[in-house]
Each structure stands twice: as C-alpha cells, then as structure tokens.
Structure 1
Amino acid sequence: MHKIGYFLTNGFQVMALGTQSVFEFANVVAKEEIYQVTNYSLLGGEVKSSAGASINTRQASAAADVDTWMVSGIVDPTASDTSPDELNFIKGAAGRSQRIAGLCTGAFVLAEAGLLEGRRVTTHWAYASVLKERFPATRVEADHIFITDGSIWTSAGLSAAMDLVLGLVEKDLGADIANNVARVMVMYHRRSGGQSQHSQMLKMAPRSDRVQTALEYARSNLAGPLTVDVLAREAHLSERQFSRIFYSETGLSPAKAVEQLRLEAARNMIERGHHSLEIIARDTGFRDRRHLREVFVRKLGVSPQSLRRDAREDF
C-alpha cells in the first residue's frame, strides 16, 4: 500500500482536498486499495480552510511511513504565516518520503522549507514572478501545468493539481489506469506537465456567443476544413461579418486562430506521447508530418521530436 499524507496549514486552499478523489478512483479502477490517504497538520485537530470550513487532521508526528507528501498552499502566498516548526517538519518529511508535491502555491511552502534550491518548479501564474524574486535559486518555469524534478513535484493552479496527481498515478500504476481514472472522473484528458497554463481558447476570450460557438466547432473539428465560410456558417453570419467580428473580439484572423488551436492540440498530443507524428498531423488538421514540423519550428522554435523528448524527460 502506498501511503499519501496531505499536510495542511491554516488557510489551506480547500480545493486541494479535491485531488484526493484521484487516489480514491485509482483504487476503484485498480480494484484494490493501492493508496491510503490521511490528512495531517503539525498539531493535529481541526484546521480551517480558505473557504472557512474546518477539517479534522492527525498530528504530523504520528505519520508513519508516508510515501508521498502533498502540501497545499494558501490563496495569497505573500501573506503566508507558515511557522518554523511546520517548515522543519516539511523539510524532514521530504527526506523520509519517496516524493513531495507542492500543490499550486504550495511551492512557496516547499521553497521556504529549503527544498527548491536549484530545482525546476512551477506555481500559479499569478505568483510565479514572486516565487522567482523571493527564491532566486529556484528555477521557476511559469508556463507549465506541473513539473517533476527528482522527488519534487509542483503544480500550477489547483485544477492543474488534478493533472499532477494523475501523473503520480501514471508513474505508479501506468498510463492505462491513469487514463481510466481520468475517464471515470470525466476529465477531458490527462494533461502532460509541459502543457501551457493558458489555453488558446482562454487567450482569445471571445465576448459573443457566435464567435465562441465557431471556436468550439473549430476545436472539435480540427481534422476537417475550417475555412472562413465554414466557421461563418456555424456562427450564422456572413463571411464578411464573421471575419470583422472575429478579429475585433480576438485580435486574430480566423485562419490564425485555427492555426493556434491546431498547434495547441498537436502539442498536447505530442507531450502525451501516445501517437505517431503522422497520426497527430492528420488528427489536428496539418497536411502531413512535414507541415506539422514547419509550423512548430516557426511558432514554437522547437521541432515536434524535441518537444516529445523534453516531455518524456520532465516526466
């Protein structure tokens, strides 16, 4: 059995507890109790979350043979009041366990405990620069969902912590079980650690339902022709109206927006590493593998092969 310990401090982000469902359903999918999850705090007893609700915890000194520690941050890590005793416990716990994870701003707690010096880490995009400024020896890579550096795991926002925990499950039990857990939990897919914190759909942020509908259609039909007339029909607008409104709301032409959606989808598939480049090019609307490479080098400055190699090394 693999023992998971959640170390909670006052004001912990309550959503961190949601990641426990991944371990729960990993047991369900595997049809055996592989993971045992326990909540701890320094002194035990009730600990109040950021939402005001309290949760009962066991005293951390009673933690025996915890294999993986999960450390939650608080909503505003610049206002952290983690005590020296809590930091000393975390530092010692990291040395006694197989691995330790900082969920979202939990990276700040790990950094304060002296665990991140020289490490590649990530955290919520809103505080990435603060983390780098406070701990300059930490190699902050803000545009990642989660990062693994040896026994240290860190995630971006707390929804990304779900991906981190799925990554832990995949590391322990393999891709099939991790993918089945994601399916049971109705997650779109298990995002790889190297995926950007900011999706292209969020970056474009269209205001009108018509442009949003066209973009959703495009994202769901990347392998097909996505010309202006096709998208305009989905938006129930003339081509001229659609192009004008689309640009005013997104700052991009429809063709450029489609290219970015295709690039993002291809990047995600490459990082997950389950398909050949030929299949990825076909399924995301590129003419062929050569066209895929041309766009990657032009837009990202790296080849698809290099991106896949780097993603495997991260994991």
Structure 2
Amino acid sequence: MVAKVALVIFPQFNVLDLSVATVLGIANHYAPDTYALDIVSMSGGIVHSMSGVGVDTKKFDAQRYDTIIVGSMPGVPTPAADLVARLRVALTESRRVASICTGAFILGAAGAFDGREVTTHWGYTNELINKLPGAKVVPERMFVRDGHVWSSAGMTAGTDLILSMVEADVGSHVAKMICKTMVLSHRRQGGQSQFSVLDDIDPKHERIRQALAFIRDNLSESLTVELLADQVNWSPRHFSRAFKAETGLSPAKVIEKLRVTAAKNLIESGHSSASRIAVQTGFGDEARMRRAFLRELSDVPQKILKGARARKASLAL
C-alpha cells in the first residue's frame, strides 16, 4: 500500500526542507509505489521560501496521511490556531508525525512532544525549552525518535531524518542506495551530535588542514608526529610547533578528540562491541578508549552503549 506523506510548509520556509521530496522520490525508484507526497499549506496555492522560490501547494485539509512532516522557517514561529487544531487531529490519525528544525515549535504547540524527547537547531534549544515545558528537549542531537513522533535539528539534518524513516519502512538497502544516488557519504545517525570537533579547529594554513584531513581519514592507524609531518613535507619539530600555533592543541590531543567523537558516534549508532570500536577508531583496546572518554566526556563508553541499547529497545516496542 502506498503511504501518503504530507510536507507542511509556510511562507518563508527553508527550501532545504524539500529534500523530503528528493529522498522519497528516489525511494520510489528503488521501491516502487512506496510513497505519495503532497506538499501542503493551510491556504494552498503558491508558497514562497525564504530564498524566493515558490512552490505550488495543496490545502492542508481533513485528508488522512500516513506521515506528516512539519517544515521550518527562520526564527521562532507562532503557529496559527487552525494549523494547531489540524495537527492535533493528525496526532491521533497518522502513523507518524515529524518536525524539521523550528517546525518543532509548531508541532509542539499541538502537544506532540508532551512527555516526549524532541530536538531542534542548536540555536533555538533554549527557546524550545521555554516554549515546551512538558517536553524533554535533547540538545545537540541530529534527530530524535520517540514513539511515533520524530524531530530533527536544522538544515541538512532533515535529510537524515527522512532517510531514517525510509530505512524503517523499507530497509537499510534502499536507504543506502538513496545515499549513493544523492552522493552522500553516509546517513548520519540520530545519536550524532550537531557539532564536529573540526568545527572548532579552523587553521588557516593549508598544510595543517591537510594534516587534519589525514587524521580524520586514518583514525585506525598509528598516527605519530613523524607520520603527520611527512604527509605535509615538514620536519616533525616544525610540524608540532605550527600545528599547536594554528589549532591551539597538540597533535596528540586533536587525535584523541577525533577518536573519541568517532567512537561515540559508532556506539550511539548501535554498534554492539566496544572492543571492536576501540580497534576501529585507533585506541587499540577498551582500557585506552575508556580513559580517553573520561578525559574528553567525563563519561565511559559502556554507559553510552547502555543508553543506546535502551533507546533501540524502546523503538522496537
């Protein structure tokens, strides 16, 4: 049976929300007749995005949908009463509802997140906590699923949310084929942080950038200063001084931070073997990984793994 999906948009919506249409369209290529998408608004007709692109929409009426996805707009939206009423009905009729970025404020006004976990763009976390006191706001997460209610962070995180929905519906093979078609290196998991270690390390020198890229792509290897210096044709001494000057950290500290981030993402993505993750991310053994986690996160891998398993078990119910 074809699943009817509604993407709800508003004037000044974020045009990246239309990635929903791209993902579902490609899903239909690999799994024919899986989805039928309506792009809807409360008034119907042409709705213009914040970039000026106009989209023809259907009126968001009483039609039942399998899945309803509430799009985003700049700032903190104040939803109209008729939209909130329509979404309240959808919560009881639809198999699944979701928000992208600031759409969480709109779906939340309908009570979707009462007693549930929710996330949004990191810049609006405090406002969401104030607006939805009954919700369990989860800062930094890429996307969150709590029962039949989903929410994502901003911008491209909506694509990760939709890909995860497709994977839940028709399997990981189709989701992987969509990623390949869209030339995405991978689908980011919901447990991943919205932030990256490399976002905070922004060296100006091209050779330091090259070294950071090499570290990121070779975390499982033995990354010595000598090896890194050789990659950029510098002496080890000059490399160490330049790296510290550009990043504010020693090469060893940056390597540890990147390894901890990679290992944490693997754990939260559902990988079950901490020992295997330790090897895969270059720690070598669980003891070294545990010490690094305590230094960087003040937490231990087993506790994070236990939480990931509990979330996975709750989603299977």
Which stretch of the first structure deviates more once superposed, 269-278 or 156-165? 269-278
| Structure 1: unaligned runs, 5 residues or longer | none
Cα 1:173–1:312 shift into 2, 3 Å: farther
Q: Give the RMSD, CA atoms, in angstroms.
A: 1.9
Cα 1:182–1:275 shift into 2, 3 Å: farther
Q: CA deviation at 1:62?
A: 5.2
| 2:207 is equivalent to residue 210 of structure 1 | yes
What corresponds to 2:16 in structure 1?
A: 15
C-alpha distance after superposition, 1:179-228 (max 9, x if no partner): 23223222121111111110111122222211111010011111111111
The CA distance in 2 between the partners of 1:237 and 1:95, in whole Å, is: 63
Do the aligned partners of 2:47 and 2:55 also contact (CA within 8 Å) in 1?
yes
Residues 187-198 of structure 1 mapped to structure 2, 5 A cutoff: 187-198=184-195
**Partner SS state of residue 61, structure 1:** coil
Aligned residue identity for 1:74: M
Q: CA deviation at 1:52?
A: 1.3
Aligned residue identity for 1:61: D
Do the aligned partners of 2:225 and 2:236 also contact (CA within 8 Å) in 1?
yes
Residues 10-159 of structure 1 mapped to structure 2, 5 A cutoff: 10-30=11-31, 32-61=32-61, 63=63, 65-77=64-76, 80-159=77-156
Cα 1:250–1:136 shift into 2, 3 Å: farther
Which stretch of the first structure deviates more once superposed, 207-216 or 166-175? 166-175
The CA distance in 1 between the partners of 2:20 and 2:206, in whole Å, is: 32
**Partner SS state of residue 57, structure 1:** strand
C-alpha distance after superposition, 1:103-131 (max 9, x if no partner): 01111111222322222111101111111
When the two structures are superposed, what TM-score results if normalisation uses the length of structure 2? 0.91
When the two structures are superposed, what TM-score results if normalisation uses the length of structure 1? 0.92
| 2:277 is equivalent to residue 280 of structure 1 | yes
What corresponds to 2:287 in structure 1?
A: 290
**Partner SS state of residue 221, structure 2:** coil
Match of 1:233 among 230, 236, 239: 230
Q: CA deviation at 1:67?
A: 0.7
| 2:246 is equivalent to residue 249 of structure 1 | yes
The CA distance in 1 between the partners of 2:310 and 2:155, in whole Å, is: 23
Aligned residue identity for 1:68: T
Do the aligned partners of 1:191 and 1:268 also contact (CA within 8 Å) in 2?
no
The CA distance in 2 between the partners of 1:24 and 1:312, in whole Å, is: 32
Aligned residue identity for 1:35: Y
The CA distance in 1 between the partners of 2:103 and 2:255, in whole Å, is: 36
C-alpha distance after superposition, 1:26-74 (max 9, x if no partner): 22223x22111111111211111111111111111153x3111110110
The CA distance in 2 between the partners of 1:96 and 1:197, in whole Å, is: 31
- Amino-acid identity (%): 39
The CA distance in 2 between the partners of 1:248 and 1:96, in whole Å, is: 58
The CA distance in 2 between the partners of 1:207 and 1:91, in whole Å, is: 50
Aligned residue identity for 2:55: I
The CA distance in 1 between the partners of 2:137 and 2:215, in whole Å, is: 33
**Partner SS state of residue 93, structure 1:** helix
